[in-house]
Structure 1
C-alpha cells in the first residue's frame, strides 16, 4: 500500500532538538488519541548518536490523517513564527528501495530514570500507608543489563506530569506491519511499525 509523509525542520540555528521532538510527538499523541487512530509513525531522518536531529517526519498510509495532523494549531503557529519549516504531504516515491527502521520506546531506561524511581517509591509508600505498615525500601539487587542506545526526550503528559521518553532505533530488512503506538512508535519485541529512511528525500538546508 502507498505511504505518505511530511516533515518538520527546526529552523533556529541554536535549538534543543530533543525538546522540540518531544513537543511534536506530544501533538501526535494527542491527535491520535483524540481520533482513536494508530496509523501514523514518526521517523528521524537526521538521527545521530550526538542528536536526534533537527528534522522529524510523519509517515502513514492515510493521506487524510497526515494532512489533518500537519494542520494542527501548534505546528501552524510555529511555522508562522519561523521556528518550523513544514513540508507538504507527499507520496513516498516508489522507485526507491528504502531502509526500514523501527523507532521504539525503550522502557528499560525509563524505569531507571530518577522520575520513574520517585513515582514508584511514592506508589509503594501510599500502598504501605493504606495497609497500615511501615515502608522500608528494598536494596536493589538488579544485575548489569545491556541496553541499546536511545535518545532521551522530555515529555509532558496531559495530566501535567513530566517524564522522560527514551526512543531507540532498530534496523529492519523490509517493511513490516504499519501499526504504531499513540506516540507514533513501533514495537521492537513484536517487530512491527516500521518507517522508511527519508534521508535521501529531504534536503538538509
Structure 2
C-alpha cells in the first residue's frame, strides 16, 4: 500500500533540534490522542550521533490525516514566523528501494530518570493508602542498563506532565506493519512500526 509523508525543517541558524523535535512529537501525540489514531509514524532524516537533526517527517498510509496534521496551529504559526519550513504532503515514491527504520521509545532509560521515580513513588503511596496500609519504601538496587544509542527529547503527556522521551533507532530489512504509538514511534521488540528513510527524497528537493 502507498505511503505518504510531509516534513518540517527547522530554519533558524542556531536551534535546539531536540527541543523542537520533542515539541513536534507532542503536537502529534495530542492529535492522535484526540482522534484515536495510531497510524502516523515519525522519522528523522538527518539523524546523527551528535544531533537528531534539523528535519522531522511524518509518515502514514492515509494522506488525509497528514494533511490535517500539517495544518495544526503550532506548525502553521511557526511557518508564518519563519521558524519552520513545512513541506507539502506527498507520496513516497514507488519503484525504488527504501531503507526502513523503526524509531522506538526506550522505556528502560525513562524509568531510571528522577521524575519517573517520583511518579512511581506517588503511585505506590496512593495504592497503599487505598489499601489502608502504610507504604514502606524499599531501598533502591543499583543496576546497569545497557541500551543502544538514543536521543533525549523533552516531551509531555496528554495530562500535561513533562518528561524526557528517549528515542532509539534500528534498521530493518523490509517494511514492517505500520503499528505506532501515539507519539508516532514503533516497537523494537516486536519489530513493528517501520518508516522509510526519506533523506534522499527530501534533500533531492533542495
Unaligned stretches of 5+ residues in structure 1: none
Contact map agreement 2:3 2:62 (CA 8 A) in 1: yes
Give the match's secondary structure for 2:9. strand
For residues 32-84 of structure 1, what are the alpha-carbon distances to aligned partners after superposition, in whole Å with 9 as ceiling and x for unaligned? Answer: 11211211110000111111111000011111111111111111010000010
Give the match's secondary structure for 2:111. helix
Shift in Å at residue 130 of structure 1?
Answer: 4.5
Q: Which range moved further: 79-88 or 93-102?
A: 93-102
1:85 equivalent in alignment to 2:85: yes
Normalising by structure 2, we get a TM-score of: 0.93
For residues 87-141 of structure 1, what are the alpha-carbon distances to aligned partners after superposition, in whole Å with 9 as ceiling and x for unaligned? Answer: 1111111132111000011100100011001111222233344555554422223
Q: How many residues are treated as equivalent by the alignment?
A: 205
Shift in Å at residue 193 of structure 1?
Answer: 0.6
1:199 equivalent in alignment to 2:199: yes
Alignment of 1:31-180 (within 5 A): 31-131=31-131, 133-180=133-180
Q: What is the CA RMSD across the aligned residues, in angstroms?
A: 1.7
Give the match's secondary structure for 1:203. helix
Cα distance in 1 for residues equivalent to 2:35 and 2:124: 35
Normalising by structure 1, we get a TM-score of: 0.93
Cα distance in 2 for residues equivalent to 1:193 and 1:64: 19
Unaligned stretches of 5+ residues in structure 2: none
Cα distance in 1 for residues equivalent to 2:121 and 2:162: 16
Counterpart in the other structure of 2:13 = 13
Counterpart in the other structure of 2:24 = 24
Cα distance in 2 for residues equivalent to 1:124 and 1:36: 29
